Amino acid sequence: MEININNLTKKFGTTTAVNDLSMTVESGKLVALLGPSGCGKTTLLNMISGIIPSTTGQILFDGKDVTNLPPDRRGVGMVFQNYALYPHMTVLENICFPLEIKKIPKKERRERAMELAKLVHIEDFVKRKPAQLSGGQQQRVAIARALAKNPDILLLDEPLSNLDAKLRIEMREEIRRIQRDTNVTTIFVTHDQEEASSIADSVALFKLGEIQQYESPNELYDNPANAFVADFLGAPPINKLYGVVKNRKFVLADESMTLDLEIPHSVEDGKQVLLAFRAETIRMNPEKVSTSATVKEIYTLGRDKLAIFNLGTKLVRGYVGEDIELAIGERVQVGFKQKGIFLFDAETGVRYF
């Protein structure tokens, strides 16, 4: 089912939680709503489910206006951060519950619940109570229960935030698998950029109730619309150097380093800019744009080597190949791969290249 959101706004008193937001979620896709705390992700999700009314704007499911429909008439399944399982019921009873409300005959609903238990790989635990399950198992039950009504849309609000790091990775892959198996249009709220990028077809990155960019994870990473997007995505975080444009060169704010980047003429001399580049963009002994740097620190991360360099007075991170020998304190020439180096207006975050 396709979701269209048109000029949706939600105000809580003087706070605008969602501001004139429009987006389309294509049928059968998994979309992540990503952004820092308080940027309006949950509010948008709750308006889509119908739990909270919008202030203005419109929500359409496959072209049908559902803006004023109550939650139980929207055909939406919800999974919450705390799972919200019924503690006194067994796993099977929990999964069956939405079907009981719909007055589906007992035999049929048990069959359907078992099918779902198998889908989420919880079939060996159906007689247990939620308290006798691990966090990951409880999460599976919550997903099965949300799918019981055969929803057209599945909404997940920070579903993995109560799990430990290893289980989070396992469960996010499970969510992707279940979503592909059922082909249900899914919206997933998270503040974890890696989680969003790893499983979503598209990511909508939010800031203060507005979408900054809504595209595939690769596009957000490789082609950020502005400085906020570039900064939000990537681990380690993107390197940021503030400076000024002089004679089409980038000059670090304290003038301790200059880079000849052939900055376009459209960026006027004297403009305050932010130069940002990812750790994997650094090249050792490059032929083009380069500057000297000092190796401050070297970390071995599995197969990769991450070095900290002094560029002028600033520290930046760069990945270096396994085969490159570096010593702490060594002076080296570093440069940048063109793709992955960005220049922004320091004040507005608008991207020049």
43 binds ligand ATP (CB under 6 A): yes
Nearest approach, Cβ of residue 40 and ligand ATP (Å): 4
Asked if the bond preceding 217 is cis, omega within 30° of 0, the reply is: no
49 binds ligand ATP (CB under 6 A): no
Inter-residue contact 252 to 258 (CB < 8 Å): yes
Inter-residue contact 30 to 179 (CB < 8 Å): yes
Nearest approach, Cβ of residue 165 and ligand ATP (Å): 19
Which of 29, 41, 278, 314: binder of ligand ATP (CB under 6 A)?
41
Nearer to ligand ATP, 17 or 122 (CB): 17
Nearest approach, Cβ of residue 232 and ligand ATP (Å): 13
Strand order across the 185-190 sheet: 76-79, 153-157, 185-190, 30-34, 202-207, 210-215
Nearer to ligand ATP, 191 or 305 (CB): 191
Instruction: Compute and round to an integer the Cα radius of gyration of the chain.
Output: 25
Please choose, from the candidates 123, 77, 121, the residue with its C-alpha nearest in 3D space to the C-alpha of residue 97.
77
Which of 25, 42, 311, 334: binder of ligand ATP (CB under 6 A)?
42
Residues 88-127 binding ligand ATP (CB under 6 A) are none
Nearest approach, Cβ of residue 299 and ligand ATP (Å): 30
Number of residues that bind ligand ATP (CB under 6 A): 12
CA quadruple 240, 243, 244, 250: dihedral sign: negative
Task: Give the pair of three-digit tokens for residue 281.
Answer: 């963009």
Which of 1, 25, 35, 61: binder of ligand ATP (CB under 6 A)?
35
Please choose, from the candidates 313, 310, 309, the residue with its C-alpha nearest in 3D space to the C-alpha of residue 255.
313
Which of 25, 31, 40, 278: binder of ligand ATP (CB under 6 A)?
40
Gap between the Cα atoms of 138 and 135, Å rounded = 5
38 binds ligand ATP (CB under 6 A): yes
Which of 74, 140, 191, 305: binder of ligand ATP (CB under 6 A)?
191
Nearest approach, Cβ of residue 341 and ligand ATP (Å): 30
212 binds ligand ATP (CB under 6 A): no
Inter-residue contact 182 to 196 (CB < 8 Å): no
Gap between the Cα atoms of 260 and 270, Å rounded = 15
54 binds ligand ATP (CB under 6 A): no
Please choose, from the candidates 278, 165, 207, the residue with its C-alpha nearest in 3D space to the C-alpha of residue 34.
207
Other CB atoms closer than 10 Å to residue 230's CB: what's the count? Answer: 26
Inter-residue contact 147 to 184 (CB < 8 Å): yes
Nearest approach, Cβ of residue 199 and ligand ATP (Å): 18
Nearer to ligand ATP, 33 or 252 (CB): 33
12 binds ligand ATP (CB under 6 A): yes
> Is 105 exposed, middle or buried (CB count within 10 Å of its CB: 0-12, 13-18, 19+)?
exposed
Q: Which residue is it, tokens 């706004």? A: 9
299 binds ligand ATP (CB under 6 A): no
Nearer to ligand ATP, 84 or 324 (CB): 84
The distance in angstroms from the start CA to the end CA of the chain is: 37
15 binds ligand ATP (CB under 6 A): yes
204 binds ligand ATP (CB under 6 A): no
Query: Which of these segments, 35-43, 85-93, 309-317, 328-336, binds ligand ATP (CB under 6 A)?
Result: 35-43
Query: Which of these segments, 41-49, 85-93, 212-220, 273-281, binds ligand ATP (CB under 6 A)?
Result: 41-49
Secondary structure class of 64 (helix, strand, coil): strand
Q: Interface with ligand ATP by CB under 6 A: which residues? A: 12, 15, 17, 35, 37-43, 191
